[in-house]
Structure 1
Amino acid sequence: FWIYHQVGCAIYRKTGSVNPYKMWIEGYIDPQYAQTVEKMIDLTEKSAAVASPSDQKNMQAVFIYSTQLELQFWEAAYRLEKWPFLR
């Protein structure tokens, strides 16, 4: 959630209404979407606050890993990579 909202806001600030993906971007900058993102962040922070140090470390590791996967996905799309296992 969070990454898409942040990316959507950043792209919109730079390109505004001239972007060919305007409708897609607007979905991620929509106030309702932003509110949902904030609720999820709040829920995650509350869960982390009562989690054990071990669970907190695992939560952080999963967040970092998922963020790395998102980055790899977008880099692959940018480079127009072909995935051999998809036919």
Structure 2
Amino acid sequence: MGKQVQIPYELFMDLVYLFVLEIPDEDTHEKIVDGLNKKIDKIIMHELYEKYKTAPTEEEREKARQEYLDKRGVFENFRW
């Protein structure tokens, strides 16, 4: 079995209303897209952080750290 992903209850219920109960609503559609985009961003951030912490060489660790900080939006002058 592959990895599992947890989503907020509200997002799950919006998905149920749209796909199971077939209650179309433009506002619900926008909330679902927004919620899924946020979740994807969190997954990417976690993978970058994990890559930074587990990279086998110092060069790969530093590259992954820079990617993580860039994606996170940390300014160059706040980095060590």
More helix per residue: 1 or 2? 1
Q: Which has the higher contact order (CA 8 A, sep 6+)?
A: 1
TM-score scaled by length of structure 1: 0.39
Q: Please identify the structure whose Cα radius of gyration is greater.
A: 2
TM-score scaled by length of structure 2: 0.43
